[in-house]
Amino acid sequence: MSKHSWVCYLMILGISISANAQRKEKQISTEQPTVSQQATEPFSYKKSFTSVTHGTVTLEGQLINYDAKTGTLVLINSTDTPVLSMSYVAYFKTNEDKNTRPITFLYNGGPGSATIWLHMGCFGPQKVFLDENGRTKAPFKTVNNDYSLLDASDLVFIDAPGTGFGEVVTKARGGAGEGKDFFGIDQDAEAFTNFIEKFITENNRWNSPKYVFGESYGTFRSAVVSRMLQERGIALNGVILLSQLLSYSNMSELASANVGSDLPYVLLLPSFTATAWYHHKLPNQPKDMESLLKEVENFALTDYTLALAKGATLDEITFHNIAKKLHEYTGLDQPLIEKGNLRISGPVFEKNLLGDSSEITWRLDSRFKGESYNPLSGYPEYDPMDSYISPAFTSAFNSYVRDQLHFGDNLQYKTSGNVEPWDFKRKGYVGFPNVMNDLAQAMIYDPGMKVMLNMGYFDLGTPYFEGVYEMQHLPMPNSLQKNIEFHKYLSGHMVYLHQESLKKLHDNVKDFILKTTGK
């Protein structure tokens, strides 16, 4: 998987195990030109193309029949000129009332990631088979997903502009095609908003209960999309966030570029503790991790925050006492902590947790570890699980979409798009990218809209405590905090990484949808 910058570390991945292969039977849609008709009508990014197939999935013993719609949807500008082609895969439970059946729009992050990770690792009816304890070799395969979300909602997996089978067609304002019209915070969110509006129009889903589900940068996107949709009169029943980041200033990797702000170190500390607990690196290892984390969270917001806030005026005795406490909570050597002036970034922790070993922990799921490229380097050079996941997901999806969904022959599927330079600037905003205002405005505008935050204890990329902190500091009336619910999992950034977490995620999201449909 290519990485264009530090931003792409937020790319969404995931694996889980299941059984029972899915069966599909091809049926061509008559609504629009289809891929099978390319012999007479060649594929064009300026036209929408679809293929419709039928399938079944078994969800915890329940057999569900569904229609799968795979294709590209072309967006046009004010002069009716095609400007952007976005690809998607949609699953509709058969014979359901469109007016009452919920529909959920899902997307990964990056920015610059296609949505095969949520699709093939989390909630699609088929998912990639990958042994959690070792690498899977070709031929790769997909299997029945016992925890697909089709028992609660129809699903639309959307690939971001510049990824998947999509392509930038022309500039949004005429002329030759340029990615800058879509590769930025507001540009990207507007493209997704346009996609959703056009999709519900073409598929007659205006009255359906509607949800957006974003992961990692997808949560960042969801904050803006939820506001934009409301501005167009499109109400959301709920916003579902997985591994949240709403302000880049809270990333410890960027702390050195934001001198004077110590909040990233504070918010990351509980995840350090969880990771050290998992690897048995704590000096006084307790049996109960969650009770320990409550203690660490309190320390982080009190003694640790106060010590960092004092800066150069912090007295020597307190300095050493705080360092000793950090040693107890992280397992790192106290001299290293003091050398870092009590401030330990994610990369430094990942490189040093395992001590004299040349192994490093994984940033997005710190339970996993791998050999360092360069043991003398001060930072990890890669995430060890990338090499486990990327080949299996990329190969299995490319086979699945062509062999079972009957779409994409002779087309390239871009798992990761070249979306640089990404435009992080926004009118009226200064400093690091931040969309907390957008989500707060959406919740104020529609006080009935609910928000669900899901997070993994072992995520060092978007730490769980950072997600909680952001939610509790949204600029809105405190009375709206009751509309937010939190769920934590014994997993990492990709909560669906293993079976138990995937089941809990499915059950929690299903419950959230059922109680917010307004029936």
**Tens of pLDDT, residues 33-77:** 344 433 346 888 889 999 999 999 999 889 999 999 999 999 998
DSSP letters spanning 180-230: GGTSBHHHHHHHHHHHHHHHHHHTT-TTS-EEEEEETHHHHHHHHHHHHHH
Render pLDDT for 441-478 as a digit per residue (tens, 0 to 9). 999 999 999 999 999 999 999 999 999 999 999 999 99
Which residue type occupies 262?
Answer: D
In the chain, the domains with their CATH numbers are 6-248+389-514 (3.40.50.1820), 256-371 (no CATH)
Render pLDDT for 9-39 as a digit per residue (tens, 0 to 9). 333 333 233 333 333 333 333 333 344 433 3
Residue 430's pLDDT is 80
Whether residue 158 contacts residue 106, with contact meaning beta carbons closer than 8 Å, is answered with yes
Render pLDDT for 316-365 as a digit per residue (tens, 0 to 9). 999 999 999 999 999 999 999 999 999 999 989 998 998 876 787 888 89
Q: How far apart are CA 507 and CA 295, in angstroms?
A: 28
Share of the chain above pLDDT 70, in %: 86
Whether residue 29 contacts residue 69, with contact meaning beta carbons closer than 8 Å, is answered with yes
Residue 363's pLDDT is 87
Share of the chain above pLDDT 90, in %: 71
User: How many CA atoms does the CB half-sphere of 254 hold within 13 Å?
Assistant: 16
